[in-house]
Amino acid sequence: MLRYPPKVYAALIVSSLLWASMYPAAKPVLGEVGPAHVALVRAVTAGIVLSALVLGRGGSKPLLAVIRERWLATLVYGVNSFVVNSFLSVAALALLPASVNALLNNLHPLWLALGTVALHRAVGSRRVLTGAVLAFVGVGLVLFRDARPEVLSFQSLSLLGVLLSVLCSLGIALSTVLGRALMRTGDAIPTVAIASGMAGFVLAPAVGAGIGFQPLIEALVRPGPTLALLIYLGVGCTSLNFTLWMYALKYVPAAEAAVYQYLVPPLGVALSALFLGEPLTLTFVVGGASIVGGIVWAQTTGSSHERKLVDAHRVKPGHR
């Protein structure tokens, strides 16, 4: 028997698929616009699309309720998710192969499991630490990606890109926890609409004062693959993706929901190889499998324990 409604599982899976597609979709765009431009497009598009959807369904009341009742929490979530994490992810993508970024960017389930153990040390700490070691060994193998497994070389991967990608994974873990807390008392679509809109207001002046809007304007007014990819990143990889994820967090504990994002690294790698032609060396594949395996091993205990802790406080459908 399913623990949650089928549409909750569907939301988790589709959201993970959209997340995985972001890496090969954003990589070609960075030849014409900067990471901050991509982050701005994602935030503004999500704010417009989702606000229009809410208004079309029943007026402005849900949007005003988010602003009135939980504006500060929504602002914190929006800045973390749509400003900090979005920029870090794309900035790392500009410096790393999309396949490498897909693996390093999705270490967040490991951070959630380690955080759960840190708060409740008696529960499965040895298992989580073992999984963490396995995952970090995998990270090392991913960074040394020579085609011949007996001769490892660093292959000039950007250390800054690695750092940005790992920092983003920490931010995604925080975003998952914040989103879970928001969804206990709010609806997904209005919350994400306001959060992304707030992020757009934060990002726009920063972009204008920094690198300027000219490259973005040129990309938006010129028909072609860059425009199509920017639309996809804004609508598919942001508007729809975050709404589905936030909807699922209304029912599912943060660490348990993160389990479904085990799909993201292998799918991101596969899509990068398929659409960008990035090589899949033996060392890289073994390292990627070690990362995913370590996260799964560590996460099993963390998600199980967190589920027990929050079951008594979960918002039931119709009882917000």
> Which pLDDT belongs to residue 156?
55
HSE-up of residue 283 (Cα within 13 Å, Cβ side): 19
96 vs 268: CA distance, rounded Å: 13
> Which pLDDT belongs to residue 65?
92
> Which pLDDT belongs to residue 129?
77
Number of C-beta neighbours around residue 204 at 10 A: 14
Number of C-beta neighbours around residue 150 at 10 A: 7
> Per-residue pLDDT for the chain (320 aa), expressed as one digit of tens each?
678 888 998 998 899 889 899 999 999 999 899 999 999 999 999 999 999 989 998 889 999 999 999 999 999 999 999 999 999 999 999 999 998 898 888 888 788 878 877 776 655 577 777 887 888 888 877 876 554 444 444 455 688 999 999 999 999 989 888 887 887 777 778 988 999 999 999 999 999 998 899 999 999 998 899 999 999 999 999 989 888 887 887 888 766 776 777 788 888 888 998 899 988 888 888 888 888 888 778 766 444 444 443 333 333 333 33
Compute the 3-state secondary structure of the chain and give helix, strand, coil in percent, each to the nearest 5: 80, 0, 20
> Which pLDDT belongs to residue 146?
52
What are the boundaries of each domain within the chain? Answer: 6-313
> Which pLDDT belongs to residue 207?
94
Please name the residue that has the structure tokens 């994400």.
Answer: 192
3 vs 101: CA distance, rounded Å: 33
Question: Residues 6 or more apart from 269 whose CB is under 8 A from it?
Answer: 99, 102, 103, 280, 288
Sign of the C-alpha dihedral, residues 169, 292, 270, 177?
Answer: negative
HSE-up of residue 211 (Cα within 13 Å, Cβ side): 13
Which residue type does 188 have?
A: A
Residue 319 phi/psi, 5-degree rounding, is -130, 45
